[in-house]
Amino acid sequence: ELSWDNLIFIPFRKPAWKDGSTATCVLAVDNILYIANLGDSRAILCRYNEESQKHAALSLSKEHNPTQYEERMRIQKAGGNVRDGRVLGVLEVSRSIGDGQYKRCGVISVPDIKRCQLTHNDRFILIACDGLFKVFTPEEAVNFIVSCLEDKNIQTREGKLEADARYEAACNRLANKAVQRGSADNVTVMVVRIEH
């Protein structure tokens, strides 16, 4: 039975804004890519070099690490410090969405924005979080994906295009390999095919 005597009132509290995230976004307009990122997730473009007959990994984003000079200077100017490569010895990135308790220390939510003209030699874009790049260099990741895309043993499920199956398998295999290599961080991988 409800009555005023047995109701418990819980005072309203402003929600804590403790957790944070990084972000990498890629927008394609005609043959131009616009890339916005903040934090340590990254976008890598795979471009085929006809002369060397090799695939190159071109960075489309800037990693925001508190050990980088400009990032560290902003943090220190705001009254924060960088210890053991982290803001206040805790936060591994110098820019993020959220992480409200670090905003007073110079951690900002302003992304870097780049522009990239696509060429006929561009094959795909790899977008992944730092868990992948702790155990793979961009070049290793691109070459791993290329080898998966060339694997003739990938099974295609009914109703799925062969190219889609290959890209999906490449994502899964790359994420699994990162975990096998000992990545203790989350591993999120997305590969976007470029069609000409």
Looking at the DSSP bridge assignments, the partners of residue 192 are 125
146 contacts 55 by C-beta, under 8 angstroms: yes
State the pLDDT at residue 138: 97
State the pLDDT at residue 2: 47
Sorted by where each starts, the structural domains of the chain and their CATH numbers stand as 19-193 (3.60.40.10)
Q: Which two tokens stand for residue 123?
A: 């094959």
Q: Give the pLDDT of the chain (196 residues) as one tens digit per residue.
A: 544 555 555 555 555 557 888 999 999 999 999 999 999 999 999 999 999 999 999 999 999 999 999 999 999 999 999 999 999 999 999 999 988 889 999 999 999 999 999 999 999 999 999 999 999 999 999 999 999 998 877 776 666 677 888 899 999 999 999 999 999 888 999 999 998 7
* Residue corresponding to tokens 């936060």: 91
Give the separation between CA 41 and CA 24, rounded to whole angstroms.
6
C-beta neighbour count of 156 within 10 angstroms: 13
Q: Long-range CB contacts (< 8 A, 24+ apart) of 83-87?
A: none
State the pLDDT at residue 153: 76
The pTM for the full model equals: 0.84
For residue 4, count CB atoms less than 10 angstroms from its CB and return exposed for 0-12, middle for 13-18, buried for 19 or more.
Answer: exposed
State the pLDDT at residue 161: 75
CA 89 vs CA 75, 104, 194: distances in Å: 12, 15, 40
CA gyration radius for the chain?
Answer: 21
Amino acid at 46: C
